[in-house]
Amino acid sequence: MIQTKPRFLSFEEYLSYDDGTENLYELFNGALIEVPPESGENVQIANRLFLVFALLLGTDRVRGHGLELEVRGEPKNRYPDLTIVREEQIQLLKSRNTIRLNMAPPLLVVEVVSPGELQRERDYIAKRSQYQEIGVPEYWIVDPQAKTVTVLELFDTAYTNVETFQGDHPIRSPQFPELQVTSAQILG
């Protein structure tokens, strides 16, 4: 028996789909693309950030790789490595860990760049554009190869204030000015 992969005409149709697994999928042109597992290094970096933000904000507002973010364009959803949600989103995310376009965007999205040119382009260009378009106020690109943390701040409708941090220089977060961490601490 040949099993065909489902195709979806809308994001709502996709949200009602359950294949009985814990797999994460991106919805690309109506088709499901399984999200591959993260590298061990990326998980370690995301875990360090989770701990830093959890100590600052509490664990309920800090979400790891399992949070799904609906975006415009293709794919129609992303799974950031780390997301800081708004206080009012905590209850909304209890039944499904998905931030929809009709909801306020999260306060911060962090992506850890995986090795490879395609992944670099995805995090620096494609995801940047998608997060900017849905109004995410702050986007971090953590780049283990370059040993940098790039912080982008949204002004009006574009990320215009961009700062790159490395080494022991404290990271300046517009959304979380009380944050005290360096890129060296994040990158390990």
Q: Could you write out the DSSP letters of every residue in 129-159?
A: HHHHHTT-SEEEEEETTTTEEEEEEEETTEE
Q: Is the dihedral of CA 28, 65, 14, 2 positive or negative?
A: positive
- Give the span between the Cα atoms of 159 and 109, in whole angstroms: 13
Range of the domain at 41: 37-187
pLDDT, tens only, 67-112: 999 999 999 999 999 999 999 999 999 999 999 999 999 999 999 9
If you ran DSSP here, which 8-state letter would residue 126 be given? I
Residue 125 lies in a domain: yes
The predicted pLDDT at position 168 comes to 97
Residue 83 forms part of a structural domain: yes
Let me know if residue 68 belongs to a domain.
Answer: yes
CATH number of the CATH domain containing 100? 3.90.1570.10
pLDDT at 7: 87
Report d(CA 139, CA 44) in Å as an integer. Answer: 19
Question: What is the dihedral sign for C-alpha 174, 176, 181, 185?
Answer: negative
Q: What is the pLDDT of residue 118?
A: 87
Tally of domains within the chain? 1
Q: Is residue 155 part of a domain?
A: yes
Residue 11 lies in a domain: no
**Residue 77 per-residue DSSP state:** E
CA distance 127 to 124: 7
Q: What is the pLDDT at residue 38?
A: 86
What is the pLDDT at residue 4?
59
Tell which residue, 4, 7, 6, has the closest CA to residue 29. 7
What confidence score (pLDDT) does residue 3 get? 54
Ranges of residues in the chain whose predicted pLDDT is under 50? none
- pLDDT score, position 2: 55
